[in-house]
């Protein structure tokens, strides 16, 4: 399945299978010797929610949350259990997220996910910076200075507003920011270009995966960072290489809401050594 080109292999399993599947993630996600994906997503039973979503990046590391994957998980569950109540409750390492199918026509179903409140304190990102928020903080990477705003949307994000979201800046500075020593758990890196306060172009270097076509939590983090820096309104379209997401940071409950598509590509069996 994929959400705007951010693609995943999904499987359902029991909790006891997770370690074995994590060890397989790198091979499954290999685009030459496996199925090929940005991550392996395992849906397992949950005692707290309708289902539990476990996310393994293409390098085998575990991620706390993934916005595009959670939309896909909601669609997969709704297709398997068409009478399931909504909103679906999905347990992640971030907590329980609520997802509602808003459009069921055609190939690309649309899903709105309550992504919860953004965490802004440096200790919650986590990032080694003083203060109560990290807004337009200057980081030196690769001999360059990058102004970064940090947001945790269940996973860490460093958002930089730049004049152009070229592939060059992503490949040059993305891996350096991901592995910057001030981020003890590494970080996802977003490069955002403001077209107008309601429209932002964004490109992402994902922690543990590199360049991907979309990142749902990254789009949410970009909108939050845009509001904190005065670059955007509280509702905006965030355009990624794979397509647009509609993001709202509600001033009523402080939650971030993400709406976008999820698509099944194929189903099958893979033999793993």
**In the block, which residue shows the tokens 């893979």?**
270
**Both structure tokens of 25:** 């993630």
The whole-angstrom separation of Cα 147 and Cα 157 is 13
**Among candidates 220, 37, 7, which has minimal Cα distance to 112?**
220
Annotated active-site residue 215? The verdict is yes
Residue 169 phi, psi (nearest 5): -65, -35
Catalytic residue among 66, 72, 150, 220: 66
Query: Is 72 annotated as catalytic?
Result: no
Phi and psi at residue 15, to the nearest 5°: -55, -30
Q: Which one is catalytic: 72, 150, 215, 220?
A: 215
Diameter over CA atoms, the chain:
56
CB neighbours of residue 223 within 10 Å: 33
For the annotated catalytic residues, the residue numbers are 66, 215
């Amino acid at each position: 399945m994929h959400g705007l080109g951010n693609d995943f292999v999904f499987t359902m399993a029991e909790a006891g299978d997770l370690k074995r599947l994590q060890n397989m993630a790198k091979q499954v996600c290999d685009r030459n010797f496996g199925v090929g994906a940005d991550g392996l997503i395992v849906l397992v039973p949950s005692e707290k929610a309708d289902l539990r979503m476990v996310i393994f990046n293409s390098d085998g590391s575990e991620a706390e949350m993934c916005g595009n994957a959670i939309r896909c998980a909601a669609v997969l569950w709704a297709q398997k259990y068409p009478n399931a109540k909504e909103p679906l409750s999905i347990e992640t390492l971030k907590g329980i997220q609520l997802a509602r199918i808003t459009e069921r026509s055609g190939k690309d179903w649309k899903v709105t996910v309550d992504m919860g409140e953004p965490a802004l304190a440096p200790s919650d990102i986590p990032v080694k910076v003083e203060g109560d928020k990290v807004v337009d903080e200057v980081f030196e990477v690769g001999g360059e200075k990058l102004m970064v705003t940090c947001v945790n949307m269940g996973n860490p994000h460093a958002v930089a507003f730049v004049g152009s979201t070229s592939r060059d800046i992503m490949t040059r500075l993305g891996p350096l920011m991901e592995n910057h020593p001030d981020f003890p758990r590494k970080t996802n890196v977003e490069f955002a270009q403001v077209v107008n306060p309601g429209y932002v172009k964004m490109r992402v270097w994902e922690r543990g995966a590199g360049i991907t076509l979309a990142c749902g939590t990254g789009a949410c983090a970009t909108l939050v960072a845009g509001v904190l820096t005065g670059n955007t309104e509280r509702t905006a379209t965030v355009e990624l290489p794979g397509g647009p997401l509609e993001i709202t940071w509600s001033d009523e409950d402080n939650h971030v809401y993400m709406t976008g598509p999820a698509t099944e590509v194929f189903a099958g069996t893979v033999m793993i050594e």
